[in-house]
Structure 1
Amino acid sequence: MLLAFACGLIAANIYYAQPLIGPISADLGLSEQAGGLIVTLTQIGYGVGLLLVVPLADLFENRRLAISILAIGATGLVISGFATSAALFLSAAVLVGLGSVTVQILVPYAAHLSPEVTRGRVVGNVMSGLMLGIMLARPVASLITHYSAWRVIFCASFVAVLALALVLRVALPPRPVQARMRYHQMLASMVELVRTTPELRRRALYHACMFGAFSLFWTTTPLLLAGPEFGLTQKGIAWFALAGVAGAIAAPIAGRVADRGWIRQATAMAMLMSIGAFAMTHIGARGTPLALAMLVVAGITLDFAVSANLVLGQRIIFS
């Protein structure tokens, strides 16, 4: 439960800015087109962290490493909260993404602590926390911005992350590492892993497409809802984003399905649901109640599909 909560709190940091592109851009002098960099640079920082930082979990004791990387994210959050220029905020966004890869140290840590027979369930439960953090980040950020200012969410998250680091330092048992490779050998071995592990290649391709769809939907939809056709306020966008939280129930379901061996069928279903979600967005004339309702259903369906596919893929890889 602690690891699930920690993953949710950390992963949320990547997505606070997603529904706030409009007010952040206006405050820092970014155009609407350039505002997309706010989300993109956070994801780039996260991607760089996955590639260059997460492999360190095979070289350094995991608890200490996780807390150290978390400090990088906390630095990015506090800079985001006080940034007065676009360049400074975008630089901080990279740090926030980089520090958020802590979740990808904690998820395999949880898998390592669990027996093989229940590993899918454990990973599913921890991923439930992660996905809830991602999905709650959007409505929470929108509501706080509606009642105060967009900077408040970054400052509040900075305080929460510091408190979490202290709790993890006290509560988590250390996990010694077994590998005796050098860092450059570790990075080079990743190429060999991709070359010799077809399951890894497939799951990476599957989720690159699924997460691309997820990011596309949730980056552009808040801008659409705030536009002239729908005219929603930040509070209205928050209620819209809150509906997507329902998709988080997919993670524990997918974990149990994976333990039963139905991974292939469940993966196909997740992909079909993602396709169906985008098809729904074309139902109803833009700006009508029907179109808004279908966007809500599409958001729930897409979040469910992406959450399920992520758990299914991690169950295979961690096994």
Structure 2
Amino acid sequence: MSAFTPLERGLSKTLTLLFSVTCALAVANVYFAQPLLASIAQSLGVTSGSIGIVVTATQAGYALGLLFIVPLGDKVDSRRLILTLVTLSVLALAAVGASRHWLVLLAAMSLTGLMAVVVQVLVAYAALLSPPAQRGQAVGALTSAIVLGILMARFTSGLIADLAGWRAVYFVSSGLMLTIAAVLWKIAPPAKPLRNQHTYPALIRSLFELFLTEPVLRSRGLFALLIFAAFSVLWTAMVLPLSAAPLSLSHSAIGLFGLAGVAGALAARRAGRWADRGWGRRVTGLSLGLLALSWVPIAFAESSLIALVVGVILLDFAVQAVHVTNQSFLFAARPDAQSRMVGAYMCCYSVGSALGAAAATQVYALWGWQAVSLLGASISLAALVAWFFSARS
């Protein structure tokens, strides 16, 4: 039997704050690079068509972590696993900042993404430490922190880069994660499994088996892959025209566009309520239609920053609404395997993000921003078509 002993009093405010800050910083490490791509390319002598591989490598590392690290939470002391991941992230981030060669940078970015799955382990850890009456509140607090970390990552990385260069972003984050590791080691309580009936290989195998046995996971995983590919196309390639003439925006100014993603956080709350009312399929279809339409104003980014802001708000709203609705369907389909369902689903998210990043910079280098917009719109329309056929089946 897999069982953990929760703290009888639940999570204290101090622990909740500590876990929330850790989640925000860890997820931010995955998104720091997007406003910095032009500077990284210039620093290392990499072409604009290849620099998107930085984001791809980070997302690929994250996907591998979801498959091979997160299931360890059912076999080992979660506190020890979290401390190990945070400590290794300190080294990975420092390696990114110190990288002088392209391949070294890619390897360090992959490790950074791999260690960032501490976010998923922390959410499960908080749930395990909380009594049932407080579990939703604890998980909700950490989820909000994750959203905030994603939204603020681009702005803070741009601001630090303008002041001290892109390498400083990763050195500062490395120092912060080291501080977090020390505090976690001091005050985080253990939550040891009593005994687990599954071996580690069986846990890993079960993730793949879910794709074969759960049609909801297959359909919602496909939506996740496509919407986050479109999301990554925008956020990876957007820095290239904005930093080039005639716009020539600073890192800080480019990072400000990330604040438009606040609409995504608002969408998350409302989409969840709509799904609870039984409107999940309708919300998915309408949101995918909105996602496709968002690329119309985005296409005018080089001539109108206002149009770009409108497009960013629409796109983030749509992506977040589908993302939240997807998870509501997954939880309902297999209440007995929620963690594994979400882990498998998030792998689709990472694959989509990685593919979108790699394609976006290549398309921009070959054909420019209009082609990038067409790519994003085509992916979004493909998701809408997939929803249409799934709704009819």
TM-score, length basis structure 1: 0.88
Where do 5+ consecutive residues of structure 2 fail to align?
1-15, 336-393
Partner Cα separation in structure 1 for residue 130 and residue 279 of structure 2: 20
The answer to whether residue 214 in structure 2 is matched with residue 194 in structure 1 is: no
Choose the corresponding residue for 2:307, options 285, 294, 302: 294
Choose the corresponding residue for 1:88, options 85, 104, 124: 104
Cα distance change on mapping 1:307 and 1:120 into 2, 3 Å: farther
Partner Cα separation in structure 2 for residue 203 and residue 114 of structure 1: 29
Choose the corresponding residue for 1:144, options 160, 174, 177: 160
The alpha carbon displacement at 1:266 in A equals 3.2
Aligned to 1:49: 65
How do 1:1-319 and structure 2 match up within 5 A?
Answer: 1-2=16-17, 3-112=19-128, 123-177=139-193, 178-282=195-299, 284=300, 287-288=302-303, 291-318=304-331, 319=335
Q: Deviations over 1:77-136 (max 9, x none)?
A: 011111222222111101100000111212333445567788777645432211211121
Cα distance change on mapping 1:149 and 1:81 into 2, 3 Å: same
Cα distance change on mapping 1:270 and 1:303 into 2, 3 Å: same
Partner Cα separation in structure 1 for residue 313 and residue 137 of structure 2: 22
Partner Cα separation in structure 2 for residue 269 and residue 123 of structure 1: 28
Partner Cα separation in structure 2 for residue 103 and residue 232 of structure 1: 32
| Counterpart residue type for residue 314 of structure 2 | T
Partner Cα separation in structure 2 for residue 19 and residue 92 of structure 1: 18
Out of 263-272 and 148-157, give the one that drifted further: 263-272
Q: Deviations over 1:205-242 (max 9, x none)?
A: 22111111111110001112112353322232122233
Partner Cα separation in structure 2 for residue 313 and residue 121 of structure 1: 21
Q: Is the 8 A contact 1:120 1:256 kept in 2?
A: no
Q: Is the 8 A contact 1:75 1:95 kept in 2?
A: no
Aligned residues, how many?
315
Q: Is the 8 A contact 1:124 1:254 kept in 2?
A: no
Query: What's the % identity of the aligned pairs?
Result: 39
Partner Cα separation in structure 2 for residue 176 and residue 56 of structure 1: 12
The alpha carbon displacement at 1:157 in A equals 0.5
The alpha carbon displacement at 1:54 in A equals 1.3
Partner Cα separation in structure 2 for residue 223 and residue 133 of structure 1: 23
Partner Cα separation in structure 1 for residue 272 and residue 136 of structure 2: 5
Greater C-alpha Rg: 2
Cα distance change on mapping 1:261 and 1:6 into 2, 3 Å: farther
Partner Cα separation in structure 1 for residue 278 and residue 107 of structure 2: 43
TM-score, length basis structure 2: 0.73
The alpha carbon displacement at 1:48 in A equals 1.1
Partner Cα separation in structure 2 for residue 83 and residue 52 of structure 1: 26
Where do 5+ consecutive residues of structure 1 fail to align?
none
Q: Is the 8 A contact 1:7 1:103 kept in 2?
A: yes
Q: Is the 8 A contact 1:15 1:137 kept in 2?
A: yes
Partner Cα separation in structure 1 for residue 153 and residue 87 of structure 2: 20
Q: Is the 8 A contact 2:24 2:148 kept in 1?
A: yes
